[in-house]
């Protein structure tokens, strides 16, 4: 009967589910100390300017090297940090590392280099955000236009006035804004008009299909054209081969990121990939 069925349902438990719950609990318990113990660090993925083929910046991607669990992907610990009120601390730490790294890249002579940092939508209604960003820039003496904050479309999409105001205040402070994972959210033309973004970052799911799918090709191409006619730059994420890179070149995409042009890497590896200082370059011989 029904009670017995309920009872049976109650007693059956899924071991995988329990393990998952335990895993999440242990992650959260550990996350508190992870920052202090230097387990959270930043990987840098090169961002390439299509016209020159040069690395003009990088995206900062959070990494957690857990002593027992190994590498925990950001897709697991970022949402956990968001839900448990730890995202502000975590972001402050990542921003500080990324801006500090960029200041050292500038000191090495690459003064055009800019850094993109992902910003959780949850922080857009935090009154402390603007102060956090400007004090971090001031601490490392980095000009605001060298920082790009990536905001996912879905989030900002909420289009609450408060959020638009925060974005406008950030933009007015000189920081640049980028709409991340463009195409996966609920983008409306009104939204594109209202958000003061300098850049639109086309989601990997469209970019990776460029070779095979005519409709994805049309989507990407028309997004680039729309962005350009609104005075915005375009970035394609998830470029995994030369065929896709060439397609994007023909479409006049401004910047590319992907495993083909550079995987996320530690800071010293990135610095090795940057060109020598202008002054150290061999002079060009004109024949």
Residue among 78, 157, 244, 245 that touches ligand C2E (CB under 6 A):
78
What mask of x and - would describe binding to ligand C2E in positions 21 to 50, judged by CB under 6 A? ------------------------x-----
Region near ligand C2E per CB under 6 A, out of 140-148, 171-179, 255-263, 275-283: 255-263
Residue among 49, 88, 96, 240 that touches ligand C2E (CB under 6 A):
240
What mask of x and - would describe binding to Mg ion in positions 215 to 254, judged by CB under 5 A? ----------------------x-----------------
- Our finding on whether 259 is near ligand C2E (CB under 6 A) is yes
What mask of x and - would describe binding to ligand C2E in positions 150 to 179, judged by CB under 6 A? x-----------------------------
Residue among 44, 97, 155, 181 that touches Mg ion (CB under 5 A):
181
Which residue number, 150 or 247, has a Cβ lying nearer to ligand C2E? Answer: 150
Q: Are 232 and 199 in contact (CB under 8 A)?
A: yes
Residue among 33, 52, 75, 229 that touches ligand C2E (CB under 6 A):
75
Q: For helices 242-250 and 214-229, give the axis angle rounded to 10 degrees.
A: 40
- Our finding on whether 88 is near ligand C2E (CB under 6 A) is no
Which residue number, 181 or 247, has a Cβ lying nearer to Mg ion? Answer: 181
Residue among 61, 72, 157, 200 that touches ligand C2E (CB under 6 A):
61
User: What is the residue-wise DSSP string for 10-34?
Assistant: HH---HHHHHHHHHHHHHHHHHHHH
Q: Give residues in contact with Mg ion (CB under 5 A).
A: 118, 150, 180-181, 237
Q: Give residues in contact with ligand C2E (CB under 6 A).
A: 45, 61-62, 73-75, 78, 94, 118-120, 150, 180-181, 204, 237-240, 257-259, 264
């Amino acid at each position: 009967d029904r009670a017995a069925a309920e009872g049976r349902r109650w007693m059956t438990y899924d071991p995988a589910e329990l393990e998952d719950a335990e895993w999440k609990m242990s992650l959260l318990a550990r996350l508190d100390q992870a920052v202090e113990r230097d387990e959270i660090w930043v990987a840098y993925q090169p961002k390439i300017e299509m016209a020159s083929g040069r690395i003009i910046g990088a995206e900062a991607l959070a990494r957690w090297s857990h002593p027992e669990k190994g590498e925990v992907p950001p897709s697991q610990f970022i949402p956990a940090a968001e839900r448990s009120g730890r995202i502000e601390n975590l972001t402050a730490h990542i921003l500080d590392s990324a801006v500090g790294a960029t200041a050292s890249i500038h000191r090495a002579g690459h003064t055009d280099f800019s850094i993109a940092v992902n910003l959780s939508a949850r922080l857009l209604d935090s009154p402390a955000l603007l102060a956090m960003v400007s004090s971090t820039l001031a601490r490392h003496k980095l000009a605001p236009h060298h920082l790009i904050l990536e905001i996912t479309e879905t989030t900002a999409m909420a289009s609450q006035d408060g959020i638009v105001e925060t974005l406008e205040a950030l933009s007015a402070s000189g920081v640049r804004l980028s709409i991340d994972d463009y195409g996966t959210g609920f983008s409306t033309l009104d939204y594109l008009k209202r958000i003061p973004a300098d850049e639109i970052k086309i989601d990997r799911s469209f970019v990776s299909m460029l070779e095979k799918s005519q409709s994805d090709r049309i989507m990407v191409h028309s997004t680039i054209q729309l962005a350009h006619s609104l005075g915005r730059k375009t970035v394609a994420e998830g470029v995994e081969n030369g065929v896709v890179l060439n397609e994007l070149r023909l479409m006049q995409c401004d910047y590319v990121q992907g495993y083909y042009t550079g995987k996320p890497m530690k800071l010293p590896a990135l610095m090795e990939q940057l060109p020598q200082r202008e002054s150290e370059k061999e002079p060009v011989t004109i024949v």
